[in-house]
Amino acid sequence: MTWADHLIQLTMTVFLIFGVYQFYFWCQRQTWRPVIRFNSKIDEALPFWPIWAWVYSFLYYPAIVYLNWVVSSPRHFNHLAMSFFILLFMQMAFFLLIPVATPDHWRDYAKGEGPSRWFLRLVQKFDKPSNCFPSMHVSVATLTALHAQPTLGPWSYAFPALIAISCVFSKQHYLIDLPFGAGLGWVAYKVFLLMGGAAA
């Protein structure tokens, strides 16, 4: 593939990311079912480390954009992009039918001084307490890692691991959100393989 191909795909990736988030935000504004809030002693016992907010947001997007250098052809890119759309539709079904939100008092952790808390408050202006289950951060990170694994090997799985840690230490997710998010990412990748994406 030429640099022009990569530039076109990179531009499309940026617009796809912003476009996908409109569906995420749309789900936040819907009230199809009563919102669920879990009462978990384990989650409450986990510490709040605001510095993980940087991993939660800043590591997320460069890793996804990296996939532009993994694809081998425009057809491969199309199949890869479709796997993320499939993941989005599965996530939306959960968000609408099983709406889960973090406890209100978890948002109070971001109050106070320091750049990490300030950044987390900025993130929370857009990322509401809802749309928790399953973790979309973890599902996207898992799908990204599976796509990157042929070139990065087992190192690719450091991405979803770090994102999962950041989800709980920034108090953006419950623990239960993480394995279900990873499972959705895995299902989307399996659909990608069934569509012949690996041979694209």
Instruction: Give counts: helices (H), strands (E), the chain.
Output: 9, 0
Taking the C-alpha atoms of residue 125 and residue 123, their distance in angstroms, rounded to an integer, is 5
Q: Where are the domains of the chain?
A: 3-30+47-199
Average pLDDT over residues 17-43: 93
For the segment 74-118, what is each residue's pLDDT rounded down to a tens digit? 889 999 999 999 999 999 999 999 999 999 999 999 999 999 999
So what's the pLDDT on residue 199? 64
Question: Phi then psi for 36, rounded to 5 degrees?
Answer: -100, 135
Which residues make Cβ contacts (< 8 Å) with residue 74, sequence separation at least 6? 1, 5, 9
- Cα torsion 142, 145, 150, 155 to 10°: value is -120
Predicted TM-score (pTM) of this structure: 0.94
Contact 141, 159 (CB under 8 A): yes
What end-to-end distance do the CA atoms of the chain give, in Å?
13
Q: Please choose, from the candidates 63, 83, 95, the residue with its C-alpha nearest in 3D space to the C-alpha of residue 188.
A: 83
For the segment 173-197, what is each residue's pLDDT rounded down to a tens digit? 999 999 999 999 999 999 999 998 7
The dihedral region occupied by 138, where left means phi > 0, alpha psi between -120 and 50, and beta the remainder, is alpha
